[in-house]
Structure 1
Amino acid sequence: MFDLDLRSRKPIYEQLVEKMKELITTEVLKTDEQLPSVRTLAQELTINPNTIQKAYRELEVQGFIYSLKGKGSFVNPIAKGTEKEKISELMQELEKLVLEALYLGVTVEELKALIIETDAKKGAN
C-alpha cells in the first residue's frame, strides 16, 4: 500500500502524506473509510508512531481526513465546493511554479514533457 523511500531526502511523514492524498484522490480509500490506527500502521511500516501521527495531523489540517476521538481517523468526504477551491488554489500555486521554472530556463517543451510523463505515471498506477 505504501512505498516509502527511507533513503530519500524527503521526510517520511511527507512521503506518507503524499501517498495518502494520492490514495484518497484516486478513491482507493473511499469517503468515510477508516484509516489504519497509528499503532497498526507504524508496526506495518516499522516506523515511529509519532511519524504516522504527524502525517495524520497534516492530512487533517489539509482537509483530507477527520478524526473522531476514541474511534480513529477517516477519509473526509470532500464537498464539491471545497474541491473547486482546492483546484483553484493548486492552479495558482502551479502558475507560480511554472513562472519560476520558465524564469530559471526550463523550456515550455520540458514542462509539457513533464506533464505528459506525470500523467503516464498516474495512468500506470
Structure 2
Amino acid sequence: MENNNNILIIALVVAAVIAVIIAYNVYKNIKRKNADKLSMKIAEDEKLHITLDNKADMSEVARIILEGLGGSENVREVDHDGGRLKVQINEYGAVDEKKIRSAKVGGVLRPSKTAVHIIIGSAAESLENELKKHVTPVA
C-alpha cells in the first residue's frame, strides 16, 4: 500500500512538471505572436526624420506640404504649436500623407476628419508663415 502511494506521488510530481513546461511554452508562443503584430516595418522611402534640416528651403518645403494637403483650396487655417504645424482642412480624402512625408517632416498625424498635424520641429513657425503666404484666409 505504501508502495502505491509513493508511485502516485511520483506520478503527480511528473505530471506537475509536464504541466509547467507546457504552460511556459504556450505563454512564450503567445508572447512571440503578439510581438510580431506590434512590429512596424517602414519602407525605405518612408524613413522618418526627426526635424527639418536647418538649410532646407522653406518655400520648397511649404510647396510640397501644401500639395500634399490637397492644395490651398483644401486648407482652411494654419497654426503652429511648439514643433507641430496644425492645419484645418476641408476635405479629408484630398490629403496625401506620402507627399507630405516626402518633404522630410518628422511625421503626419490626423486627429480628426478636419485636422492634420505635421511634426516639423523648431522650424514650425517659419514654415507656418511660409504656408500662410499661399493660403487665402477663410472669412
Bucket of the pairwise TM-score, normalised by the shorter protein: under 0.3
Taking structure 1 as the reference length, the TM-score comes to 0.24
Larger strand proportion of the pair: 2
Larger relative contact order (C-alpha < 8 A, sep ≥ 6)? 2
Larger helix proportion of the pair: 1
